[in-house]
Amino acid sequence: MTTTRTAVTRISILMLALIIQALLSAAASAGDITQRQLLQRLDRNDAPLIVDVRRTDEFAAGHVPGARNIPHTEIAARLDELRDNMHKEVVVYCESGRRAAIAQGILEKAGFTKVLHLEGDMQSWRKRGLPYEE
């Protein structure tokens, strides 16, 4: 009987771990927006606030249409500029993802509730030949 209980307990723990892993994975991906989704929103004139968190020189060299530039090192100091969007979607991106993740964390900690990270960031956007502004 003890062996059966031990086996059931192990199976239960394993199932619980798998459920938790699936939930965490779903939560992580919920914070992303695909390039296709953002392009569709841009085409429908229904785009969220898009924030490019790269340096100003990188932004000037090309950015997602309609994006606003606030370098990740300035996000915390410039939160007031974004306050109207605290409960609206805000998309952040950088060149490859590191700076966008930092900016996303700062915004979420400040109470922004719908911060999305652009999958693939600008690096992938350019590689795919998607439209950009200079």
Token pair 């997602």: residue: 64
Report the alpha-carbon distance of residue 73 to residue 36 in Å, rounded: 28
Q: Which amino acid is at 59?
A: F
In this prediction, residue 129 has a pLDDT band, given cuts at 50, 70 and 90, of: very high
Which numeric CATH code is attached to 31-127?
3.40.250.10
Burial class (CB in 10 A: 0-12, 13-18, 19+), 52: buried
Q: In the annotation, is 80 catalytic?
A: no
Angle at 56 (CA atoms; ends 41, 31), nearest 5 degrees: 40
In this prediction, residue 1 has a pLDDT band, given cuts at 50, 70 and 90, of: low
Report the alpha-carbon distance of residue 35 to residue 65 in Å, rounded: 12
pLDDT at position 31, please? 85
pLDDT at position 3, please? 63
Catalytic residue from among 47, 82, 94, 122: 94
